Amino acid sequence: MSLSFEIPVSVETFYVAAQSDPALNRYVFAYTITIKNHSTETVQLLRRYWLITDANGKETEVHGEGVVGEQPQLAPGSSYSYTSGAVLETPVGTMQGHYEMTSQSQLSFKAAIPLFRLALPNILN
């Protein structure tokens, strides 16, 4: 029997000018992630994986426990949001990845984080 876990992940990004220094190739971005549990079971986020790519093609992989110090549990129909950040050496980049999750019935699965762009405002058409 195959169970399907519908865990959509949405992202909103922001450029943080106050912490950035373009003269030193330091571009700081914040992102707010919202994770929704559309399944019929409570799920828990255990680990995260990110692939961060800047405009020069430099890739950075990030692995870690939970998000912002938490391993949130999401009941059916609930959502969880958090804000974090990334520092790039270029004014444009991308992030993508997944969350390693477990269900109430102890099934492990991955919730995909769709590719999203980090960019200075008005730099792209």
Residue 94 lies in a domain: yes
Residue 123's pLDDT is 75
* Residue 2 within any structural domain of the chain: no
Predicted model pTM:
0.90
- Indicate whether 4 belongs to any domain: no
Considering the domain boundaries, does residue 35 fall inside one? Answer: yes
C-alpha atoms less than 13 angstroms from C-alpha of 56 in its C-beta half-sphere: 7
125 in any annotated domain: no
Task: Give how far Cα 67 sits from Cα of 56, 74, 88, 106, Å.
Answer: 27, 13, 20, 20
In a domain? residue 24: yes
Domain count for the chain, please give it: 1
Average pLDDT over the chain, rounded to whole? 94
CB neighbours (10 Å) of residue 104? Answer: 14
Q: Which pLDDT tens digit goes with each residue over 25-63?
A: 999 999 999 999 999 999 999 999 999 999 999 999 999
Nearest one of 93, 87, 96, 91 to 114, comparing CA atoms = 96
> CATH no. for residue 19?
2.60.40.1470
CA 27, CA 119: separation in Å to the nearest integer? Answer: 9
What domain range includes position 69? 9-119
Mean pLDDT (whole number) for 65-81:
97
Q: Does residue 44 belong to any structural domain of this protein?
A: yes
Amino acid at the residue 57 = G
